[in-house]
Amino acid sequence: MTLPVARDDAGRTIDLLTLEVRWARELMTSSPETIHPSTTVKQAARILSSKGFSAMPVADETNLLKGVLSQSDIVRFERERGLYAEVEENHSGKKSPMDNFAATGGEELSTGFHLEADDSPPISEIMTPFLLSVGPEDSPRTVIETLLRHKIHRVFVVEGDNLLGVISATDVLRKMI
């Protein structure tokens, strides 16, 4: 495959990357899973970890969007409540969040979360209570500008209150040629 090229002021060849899509709907992952606002922080950490997600949209039983919960929200919660286990060097000299698991009596979660309390609050108390979104007919430029302007990793595609999909920065990169 040949990439489009241009020349800079010095005459050097520059590869141009383009997106071969016209609409946000062509970039999105359709029908993303949601998580309910009453889910506890501990349960949510398990869900994000088991699914390999860095965030999930939060929606109520009528599928009305309430916000977004990210791993960062959970880590911030852990640190504010003092639930984060200190990381020490292990026998190989490397640090791992799970190295202190046995000593703390907490619960290990595969992506490195470590929650000790069983009384975690609902995610509605720690989530980001709004979603940055685009419409399905918005341009890829609008998607990219939204991601960059707000320094976020994902944007949700909505039509009215209806969640249609999610676009991550990785989704955009996958469509570049």
Domain of 128, CATH number, reads 3.10.580.10
pLDDT tens string 51-92? 999 999 999 988 888 999 999 999 998 888 775 545 444 445
Q: Is residue 132 part of a domain?
A: yes
Domain count, the chain: 1
The pLDDT of residue 17: 75
Q: What is the pTM of this model?
A: 0.69
| Alpha helix positions (H), 38-176 | 41-51, 71-81, 101-104, 140-150, 169-174
45-50-56 Cα angle (round to 5): 60
Q: Between residues 65 and 100, which one has the greater pLDDT?
A: 65
Q: Which domain holds residue 100?
A: 20-174
The pLDDT of residue 48: 94
Q: Is residue 4 part of a domain?
A: no
Whether the per-residue pLDDT at 98 is higher than 50: the answer is: no
